[in-house]
Amino acid sequence: MVKEQVTYRDLLYQMTKRDLLLRYKQTVLGFAWAIFMPLVNTAVFSVVFMRVATINVGMDYPLFAFTGLLTWNFFASSLKFAIVSLTSNAQLVSKVYFPREIFPFSSVIVCFIDFAVASIVVVGMMIWYHVPITPMILLLPVVVAVHVLFTLGVALLISMGNLFFRDVKYLFEIFLTVWMFGTSVLYPVSLVGGKLGTVMQLNPMTPIIDGYRAVLFKGQSPFTEPFALAIFISVAIFGVSWLTFHRAEFQFAENI
């Protein structure tokens, strides 16, 4: 499977380039949309949680919220594009052979480029709020790698699921909304008590997002027990999803 990806790497590049150009074709702001939406949402939720229902997040709330929204948007956007990546390329899937995982992989890469561009704002906010850079920032690539791996694993799973069962797209949109509020995007899940809080703590996206905040703003190691569990889940989901996807791709043409 890995050898095929290396062989068809030029096709992955071309597909990513095509998707990137199509996304911002005939738009005025272009890449600025990747920055604009998280900033607007951060402003709105900052008013809510700083003025209306004040909560203590252990840092300046705009930093907390923007980081959560930025990392979540990369995950959610990747899945929204990946889930239809096979069905929207029916002609290629049914008539030409190449590793079909290129389609969901391309969707994730395009969203990662948006994520990288918007991350520039985090640097500006760190300067504005006088957040010092610590040696722990060297662990940032580890957090990013786990984040990307988990996203790729889920993207493979849902793109394949939507090919066989078209209801998956609609159900997953609802599930994604609920998932966001069960993650520490806008508030620490530690503030939620009881059984619901325990379940929310098991959500892999929570320690991933908290990992970003730890290495960037707190100068702390991300390697907590929840983050270790997130690593295990990410590797397991990616491995199982890719293997399942690869074994099922010969049935794609007849189900497209």
Q: How large is the average pLDDT for residues 74-90?
A: 86
Say how many residues make up the chain. Answer: 256
Please give the average per-residue pLDDT across 103-131, as a whole number. 90
- Whole-Å CA distances, 239 to 4, 153, 174, 236: 16, 7, 26, 5
Give CA–CA dist 246/241, Å, rounded.
Answer: 8
Residue 217 pLDDT more than 70?
yes
pLDDT tens track for 45-64: 777 766 666 677 888 888 99
Average pLDDT taken over every residue of the chain? 83
Local structure of 165: helix, strand or coil: coil
pLDDT band at 94 (very low <50, low <70, confident <90, very high): low
Instruction: Give 255 or 116, the one with higher predicted confidence.
Output: 116
Q: What is the mean pLDDT of residues 93-98?
A: 69
CB-side neighbour CA atoms (13 Å) of 241:
23
Among residues of the chain, what percentage have pLDDT more than 70? 84
Q: Cα(193)–Cα(123) distance, rounded to whole angstroms?
A: 33
Domain ranges, residue 117: 2-255
**Residue linked to tokens 């100068």:** 219
Tell me the CA end-to-end span of the chain in Å, nearest whole number.
22
- 125's tokens: 């906010």
Contacts of 252 (CB under 8 A, 6+ apart): 86, 93, 94, 100, 163
Cα 210 to Cα 67, 74, 94, 95: the distances in Å are: 9, 15, 41, 44
- Which among 49-53, 90-94, 192-196 has the top mean pLDDT? 192-196
Q: What total number of domains does the chain contain?
A: 1
Most confidently predicted of 19-33, 158-172, 242-256: 158-172
pLDDT score at 220: 92
- Rounded distance between C-alpha atoms, residue 59 and residue 213, angstroms: 10
Residues contacting residue 158 through CB under 8 Å, at least 6 positions apart: 79, 82, 83, 168, 172
Q: Classify each residue of 97-135 as buried b or exposed e, where b means 16 or more C-beta atoms within 10 Å of its C-beta.
A: ebbbbbbbbbbbbbbbbbbeebbebbeebeeeeebeeee
User: One-letter amino acid identity for 243?
Assistant: L
Q: Which of the four pLDDT bands, split at 50, 70 and 90, describes residue 7? A: low
Task: Give me the pLDDT at residue 206, please.
Answer: 93
Query: Hunting for tokens 């069905």 — which residue is that?
Result: 87
- The pLDDT confidence band at residue 255, using thresholds 50, 70 and 90, is low
Span 145-172, mean pLDDT? 89
Residue 177 reports pLDDT greater than 70? yes
Q: Could you tell me the two tokens for 109? A: 């890469």
Cβ atoms of 108 and 183 closer than 8 Å: no
pLDDT given at position 31: 61
Residue 169, pLDDT score? 81
